Amino acid sequence: MTTPAAPAAVHLAQLNVATLRHPLDDPRIAPFVEALDPVNAAADDAPGFVWRLVGEGADDATGLRPAGENVIVNLSVWETQDALWDFAYRSGHLDVMRRRRDWFRRHVEAHLVLWWVPAGHVPTVAEALERLAELRENGPSPRAFTFASSYTAEEAAAHDAP
């Protein structure tokens, strides 16, 4: 997957949500929980990584439940779409993703949304959930898209221009 590099003035934000099949302390979820620290450390060290959401006093965001009691969220910011793609699909993260059906229910609606943010902007969970809702309601656009239906930072800026 090759996409034009985003201008240095913007970064790519991503939110994905996952509905747990069982509580996090259930033994059937243990392999996922055990993978959290290594995967998060790999993300933190990945080329192009900028920021990720963590709970207060925590190393991850699994304790936050802004999208529902059984729904965990992953919110992060990356320098480029290629950097996020490489981490998600060309690293050890892919091994964990291959087992996602063991731990999470299949989402009928979109569970991942991407959007461009000004460099230095830390998106809020509310902002991220609004982008996901926009994608679910209206389909992909320069404001809320997916890897399969992506838009460049330039297209997003042109879309938002008055």
Sketch out the chain's domains with CATH numbers.
10-160 (3.30.70.100)
DSSP, residue by residue, 126-153: HHHHHHHHHHHHH--BTTBB-STT---H
Q: What is the mean pLDDT of the chain?
A: 92
- The pLDDT assigned to 57 comes to 87
pLDDT value at 95 more than 90: no
The position carrying tokens 């790519």 is 12
Percentage of the residues of the chain whose pLDDT score is greater than 90: 77
Looking at residue 38, what is its pLDDT? 94
Q: Is the pLDDT of residue 3 over 60?
A: no
| Coil, strand or helix at 83 | helix
pLDDT-based confidence at residue 1 (cuts at 50, 70, 90): low
In contact, 50 and 78? CB cutoff 8 Å: yes
pTM: 0.90
